[in-house]
Chain A
Amino acid sequence: MTAFAAWLQDSALGVWTRESPSIWAYPTVLTLHTVGLGILVGANAVIDFRLLGFAPRLPIAALAPLYRFMWAGFVMNAVTGVMLFASDAAAKAVQPIFYVKLALIALALATTAMIRTSVARAETVRAAGAAPRATLGRFAALSLLLWAAAITAGRLMAYL
């Protein structure tokens, strides 16, 4: 891992992101990472809070297009995240909080995917006349907690 990190840090991508004096290098990559986070976690929050009982007049099925925004935000952050890691790979690769952040993102994504499938299933069930599942609210709370924890771990990378 350390050999890979050293190679990545010295790669053209790592050097450019870290050393280019251009405003389009590190500052813009970092800003896009924050914009992507806002889109991904923000769109998630809309669905999660709705499932928790906020805005009951909001039709859940009509929120499905938000998953496209989440994908866009996730792709933005995967790309900018690789660039930010490459710029400082040797240090980040030995930072425990970085792996905590990655694990939290994986868990949050899994929860988000689970909610999406459950909502789709609940819509079908409700169309057949049954009541929606109450456990969705618990998944939504878990999703909000995991995404907030991922943001927390990301911020702490600057300190720990």
Chain B
Amino acid sequence: MDGLVAWVESTPLSQGIVASRVIWPACEIVHFIGLTLVIGIAGFFDLRLMGFLKRVPVSAARDLMPLAIAGFLMNLLTGATFFIGKPHQYVGNVAWWAKMFCLLVAGLNAMFFETTVGARTLNLGAGDDTPRSAKIVGAVSLASWLGVLYWGRMLPYIGSAF
């Protein structure tokens, strides 16, 4: 791991990110806007799966998901920029690993939804309650994305990065 960190930090890309006064703050701004899209749009769909906002047809709530994916891609790109800039701050940081774990849970949970529960849920219309399996998937999704946010914000305080 130390070898990887040293190699990344020796690359011109990493050094360019750290040397710039603009890149880091600009990426933070994009990262925060991206997180509102993920929490807002994916959270909206999660709430419907959990049985809230019942007047919304489930498949219609899902129509906004490309925006959540756009927010996620914004954050993947800016997050990768942070990591490439200062990898040593993250690989030894327990909060960063907790954040990656929450991301993994969110991803596996979404894959589980797409391959199993999803088909049984998307035909539910306005006023229909969701099955218990969908409620669990929605709650796990919401909790794991809030976990991603929590551990990300705690990076400087729990893992003493920065």
Contacts and interface: CB of A to CB of B under 8 A. Distances in A.
Contacts of A49: 41, 64, 67
A142 to B, nearest CB: 16
Interface string B1-30: 000000000000000000000000100110
Contacts of A156: 25, 29
A155 B157 contact: no
B29 A45 contact: no
B150 interface: yes
Interface in B25-43: 25, 28-29, 32-33, 35-41, 43
Given A37-B32, A49-B67, A55-B60, A31 B153 contact: yes
Interface string A142-160: 0000011001101110110
A41 B41 CA distance: 10
Interface residues of B, number: 34
B32 A151 contact: yes
Contacts of B56: 58-59, 62-63
A42 interface: yes
Contact of A57 (B55, B63, B154, B156): B63
Interface string B68-101: 0000000000000000000000000000000000
24 contacts: A23-B157, A27-B153, A27-B157, A31-B153, A37-B36, A38-B35, A38-B149, A39-B40, A41-B40, A42-B38, A42-B40, A42-B43, A44-B40, A45-B36, A45-B67, A46-B40, A46-B41, A59-B55, A59-B126, A62-B53, A62-B55, A151-B32, A151-B36, A154-B32
A34 B158 CA distance: 16
A54 interface: yes
A59 B60 contact: yes
Contacts of A66: 44, 53
Given A45-B37, A46-B40, A58-B64, 11 more contacts: A23-B157, A23-B158, A27-B156, A34-B32, A38-B35, A38-B39, A50-B64, A54-B67, A58-B60, A59-B60, A61-B55
Contacts of A109: none
Contacts of A44: 40
A62 B54 CA distance: 8
A158 B33 CA distance: 16
Nearest to A148: B33
A54 B146 contact: no
